[in-house]
Amino acid sequence: MASYARRFVKAGVRLVGGCCGTTPAHIRAMKEAVVAARPAARPPRLDAPRDESVELNTPERGAKSVLGQRLAERAFPVCVQIRSPKGCDPRPTLEHVRELHEAGVDLVSVFEGRGGARMSAFALAQIIQREVGTETLLEIASRHRTLLRMQATVLGAHALGLHNLVAVTGPPLTLGEYPDATKDFEVDSIGLSNMIRRLNEGRDVAGQSIGTPTAIHLGVHLDPFAVDTEYEVRRFEWKVDAGAEYALTPPVVDAKALVEFLPRIAHCRIPILATIPLIGRFRDVERLRQFGAGRAPQALLDRMMRAEREGREREEGLAIAVETARALREHVEGLQVVAQTARLSDVPPIVEAV
């Protein structure tokens, strides 16, 4: 059974199991056989029937958002990621955003994260745009959501003026005492991108007219440091084919590694926003190191270790961020800076550096 399961997965099957007589031992053997296998290359798409009476009228990038306009003009936009506050008072966060805006930041990306009762990212993004006037960027995850729910979310985001959306699959959530059990999802980030592209064309998931098309500026993730870079490039090709207009990277502290990866996506290149972390402690680098040596080279570890001994970790972390931003200035189309709330005052030097 295990050998057949592996052959099925290699042929493109996405779900394998057993019938009567299958025991936990069989399932365990099948899992071990397919865990390293990759399904046959087959980009997931939403193959709904098309209403040929619908006239395609997809908005141009520059007309969708400030970020779209900045990328169209090759103006090197800078985005800063902020975390939703605990509780229901957005005023301290709004003050931080005002300071970032005055420092020359073009937009802020909002995420909820974990830890306590935090305000909805969608709600905070709307408040920021209304109260401060700074444009926002949001992630929309496909995991744990139905197609109809995601479609409603995208339509609502457009109506609220939240036009910069990044399609992600989202992390799995374990259920109770069964860490191997996860909720399913109808499509991954590629299928979600296909859906958003359809809405931008004026069609719903069934191919029927929605009237006025949405104007979502669609982003995706790109991981240059993935363990299986061949698979990552293939998925990125599918994302671009699905309608992706720009991509964000994970935290980059090794500019050389990112620059060396970029030729591999030259045939499907879209604007790249490199994520620059503001490192505050040596253990922040160790955490990045866990994701792969390409993200945190040994030289960086040694550098932050010396800074820790000398009590100047914050200054060294800022210097590394500025150096990385300058090194990437001619290779990517923009930046996203990730910083703890207490470090937002360190963002202006990075903006000035690019």
- In 39-141, DSSP assigns E strands to 78-83, 107-111, 135-141
6 has a pLDDT exceeding 60:
yes
Note the pLDDT of residue 53. 53
CA distances from 354 to 84, 334, 341, 350 (A): 27, 9, 22, 7
pTM: 0.81
DSSP state string for 259-324 = HHHGGGGGGG---EEEEEE---SHHHHHHHHTT-TTTS-HHHHHHHHHHHHHT-HHHHHHHHHHHH
For 154-199, the pLDDT digits (tens) are 999 999 999 999 999 887 655 445 555 455 667 889 999 999 999 9
**Residue range 48-59: average pLDDT?**
57
Closest to 258 measured CA to CA, from 235, 290, 292: 292
pLDDT at 166: 96
Neighbours of 274 (CB within 10 A): 27
Element (H, E) at 338: strand 334-338
What DSSP letter does each residue of 174-220 carry, written as one string? EETTEEEEE---SS-HHHHHHHHHHHHTTB-TTS-B-SSPP--EEEE
pLDDT of residue 301: 84
Whole-number Å distance between alpha carbons of 327 and 344: 21
What per-residue confidence (pLDDT) applies to 302? 87
Helices marked H in 103-167 = 121-131, 147-159
What integer pLDDT is reported at residue 196 of this predicted model? 96
Decide which of 316 and 52 is more confident.
316
Q: Residue 42 has what DSSP assignment?
A: -
pLDDT, tens digit, for every residue of 191-229? 999 999 999 999 998 889 999 999 999 999 999 988 899
User: What is the β-pairing status of strands 178-182 and 174-175?
Assistant: antiparallel
**What whole-number distance in Å separates Cα of residue 274 and Cα of residue 294?**
14
